[in-house]
């Protein structure tokens, strides 16, 4: 990836200083204004107390008792939030590039990412390191990608299957009606994948079997809205957990679906879509959203990538779809599907949150929830991450100004805290 050339020196030089002091297992952030990720109003003049990597108390300064041996950081005037989650990334097949990317995102306050189709064999070798509290990089979560046999000539898989043919490895698997889904899920799970990504070229009867097989072994199911030739309504009814790409819901209104992803003059979003003939407010599309709401399916909208990956027309459709979903009460997840080199600061998540606010009508508070609690929900780790409350892992960021008044203040990162370890970005020093 081109961004690796830009950020490699940053990664090698060491982006941070700090850490948990020897002899102390407690950390107290005092005088904080807390934005806890749930959408509730900020809690001013508060303390976040951390012990052994977990939050053990949160509350007013007047109530929380700080242990004598705690490391105390006065954050009066600053804002404390859960660490940010980019719920849709595509990582490079080279380890050095992945490390550089995860370090750069971490410096920007992104404490976790979800890779949505890549070399999960490589990622399995890196995963434990990325989850160490002292590691200056985002926690890495990743998927196994399933698609029909006709899909796997896709050029994007070159270099991501350890020299083997795409479709033949556990993390990039060709699935057909005869596949043993239980065994395939087990193989993905053995690699450390936490989700199955359902991609394309699968018939509805196959798609309908995947969620139950994955859920039985504790894996999530992440899917495109359309899995050619399976329509969005059939995908939603199958029981998937998260659906990516708002623009692709347009296929629910198509009179005929292509059989394969690589039909006609296809793009990275598949065949040309009927944006000009299928309104977002059509009965068919609204019915799909209603079913998503009923089933609590999350929407990973990825709106900031659509103008670059597809077209302005597709972007306008995606903005309206996401705005409509938000109005209906569907939970929105912040995922970017963009390379770092496409952005000025190398943190695509900032642009996604700004697009969700400016183009899709989310409030700043809703956008923050999309990148914290809802991001954790997309990963299936909301019992450990995504909010500031007792018992959660202490993955936090401290910013210099209120992001609720201006989401761009998320760029003003003073500290990134991972499992109780304190890191100060180089750009802040």
> Whole-angstrom Cα distance, residue 150 to residue 258?
12
Q: What is the CATH number of domain 84-379?
A: 3.20.20.140
Q: Where in the chain is the domain with CATH 3.20.20.140?
A: 84-379
Residue count of the chain: 429
- Copy the structure tokens of residue 281: 């407010």
CB 196 within 8 A of CB 178: no
> Whole-angstrom Cα distance, residue 330 to residue 292?
7
Residue 425 confidence (pLDDT):
83
User: Which 3 state secondary structure label does DSSP give 146?
Assistant: strand
* DSSP character at residue 111: E
Residue 6 confidence (pLDDT):
38
> Which of 355, 265, 236, 342 lies closest to 303, judged by CA?
355
Q: Where in the chain is the domain with CATH 2.30.40.10?
A: 2-81+388-428
pLDDT in single tens digits along all 429 residues of the chain: 334 333 433 433 344 455 554 345 899 999 999 999 999 999 999 999 999 999 999 999 999 999 999 999 999 999 999 999 999 999 999 999 999 999 999 999 999 999 999 999 999 999 999 999 999 999 999 999 999 999 999 999 999 999 999 999 999 999 999 999 999 999 999 999 999 999 999 999 999 999 999 999 999 999 999 999 999 999 999 999 999 999 999 999 999 999 999 998 888 889 999 999 999 999 999 999 999 999 999 999 999 999 988 999 999 999 999 999 999 999 999 999 988 777 778 999 999 999 999 999 999 999 999 999 999 999 999 999 999 999 999 999 999 999 999 999 999 999 999 999 999 987 654
Residue 2 confidence (pLDDT):
36
Residue 342 confidence (pLDDT):
76
Work out the number of other CB atoms within 10 angstroms of the CB of residue 389: 15
CATH homologous superfamily of 2-81+388-428 equals: Urease, subunit C, domain 1 (2.30.40.10)
Beta bridge partners, 147, equal: 174
Residue 343 confidence (pLDDT):
78
> Which of 150, 145, 300, 257 lies closest to 210, judged by CA?
145
């Amino acid at each position: 990836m081109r961004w690796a050339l830009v950020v490699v020196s940053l990664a090698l030089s060491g982006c941070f200083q700090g850490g948990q002091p020897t002899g102390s297992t407690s950390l107290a952030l005092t005088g904080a204004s807390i934005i806890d990720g749930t959408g509730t109003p900020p809690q001013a003049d508060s303390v976040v107390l951390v012990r052994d990597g977990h939050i053990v108390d949160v509350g007013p300064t007047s109530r929380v008792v700080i242990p004598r041996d705690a490391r105390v950081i006065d954050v009066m005037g600053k804002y404390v939030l859960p660490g940010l989650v980019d719920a849709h990334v595509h990582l490079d097949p080279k380890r050095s590039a992945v490390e550089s990317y995860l370090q750069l995102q971490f410096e920007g306050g992104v404490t976790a990412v979800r890779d949505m189709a890549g070399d999960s064999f490589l990622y399995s070798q890196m995963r434990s390191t990325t989850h160490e509290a002292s590691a200056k990089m985002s926690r890495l979560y990743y998927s196994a990608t399933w698609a029909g046999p006709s899909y796997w000539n896709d050029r994007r898989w070159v270099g991501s299957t350890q020299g083997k043919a795409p479709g033949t490895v556990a993390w990039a698997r060709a699935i057909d009606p005869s596949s043993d889904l239980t065994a395939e899920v087990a193989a993905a799970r053995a690699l450390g994948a936490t989700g199955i990504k359902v991609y394309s070229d699968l018939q509805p009867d196959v798609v309908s079997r995947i969620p139950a097989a994955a859920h039985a072994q504790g894996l999530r199911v992440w899917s495109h809205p359309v899995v050619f030739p399976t329509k969005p309504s059939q995908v939603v009814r199958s029981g998937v957990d998260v659906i990516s790409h708002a623009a692709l819901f347009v296929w629910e209104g198509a009179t005929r679906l292509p059989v394969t992803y690589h039909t006609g003059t296809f793009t990275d979003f598949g065949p040309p879509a009927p944006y000009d003939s299928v309104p977002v407010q059509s009965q068919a599309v609204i019915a799909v959203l209603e079913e998503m709401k009923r089933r609590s399916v999350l929407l990973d909208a990825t709106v900031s990538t659509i103008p670059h990956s597809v077209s302005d027309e597709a972007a306008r459709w995606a903005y309206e779809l996401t705005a409509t979903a938000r109005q209906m009460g569907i939970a929105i997840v912040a995922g970017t599907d963009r390379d770092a080199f496409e952005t000025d600061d190398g943190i695509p998540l900032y642009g996604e949150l700004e697009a969700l606010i400016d183009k899709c009508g989310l409030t700043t508070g809703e956008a923050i929830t999309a990148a914290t609690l809802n991001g954790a929900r997309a990963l299936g780790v909301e019992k450990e991450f995504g909010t500031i409350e007792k018992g959660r892992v202490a993955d936090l960021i401290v910013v210099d100004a209120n992001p609720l008044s201006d989401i761009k203040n998320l760029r003003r990162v003073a500290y990134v805290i991972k499992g109780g370890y304190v890191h100060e970005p180089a750009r802040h020093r």
